[in-house]
Amino acid sequence: MEIILKTDIKGLGYKNDLVAVKPGYGRNYLIPQGFAVLATGSNKKILAENIKQAAHKAEKIKTEAQNIAEKLEALTLEIKAKIGESGKIFGKVTTLQIADALASQGIDIDRKKISINTPVDGAGEFEAEVDLHREVKTNVKFNVSGE
């Protein structure tokens, strides 16, 4: 089943992408929730016109995302966590903590666009991936230290 996404969905695609999904997923979840529309001939024509009109705006958004990516690459965040005697942290470092640390630096990024690929199990330096735009992804470094 082919659908056109109305919003970015992690692991599936970005807004205005034409993707193939299983019929149940499209019919029972994506379309009723308003995340997608059925890819009929008329909807494909509307999509093509919207993409053509939004090309200039998309270039501006991409440029802004690249500027933010440059700032993030030069940045190292400090995340405080409770660390036990064995060197392991209590709980875990979440994307919310990274988003809050970025907000304190003046960079506002939604926590859903941040993913930590390696498990953070103790103090040290780690990296998180930030998805700023469909073509712009970057890593931000963060140090985990004891409180």
Handedness of CA 93, 97, 101, 102 (dihedral sign): positive
Q: List the pLDDT tens digit at each of the 147 positions of the chain.
A: 999 999 989 889 988 899 999 999 999 999 999 999 999 999 999 988 888 888 878 888 888 889 888 988 888 889 888 888 887 888 888 889 999 999 998 888 888 889 998 888 888 899 999 998 888 899 999 998 887
Q: Determine the Cα–Cα distance for residues 6 and 42; give it in Å rounded to an integer.
A: 15
Tell me the domains of the chain and their CATH numbers. Answer: 2-63 (3.40.5.10), 64-146 (3.10.430.100)
Q: Determine the Cα–Cα distance for residues 71 and 67; give it in Å rounded to an integer.
A: 7
- Look at residues 142, 138, 31 and name the one whose alpha carbon lies nearest to residue 79: 142
Query: Rounded to the nearest 5 degrees, what angle is found at the Cα of 77, between the Cα atoms of 122 and 123?
Result: 10
pTM of the model: 0.64
B/e letters for 37-66, b = 16+ CB within 10 Å, e = fewer, are bebeeeeeeebeeeeeeeeeeeeeeeeebe
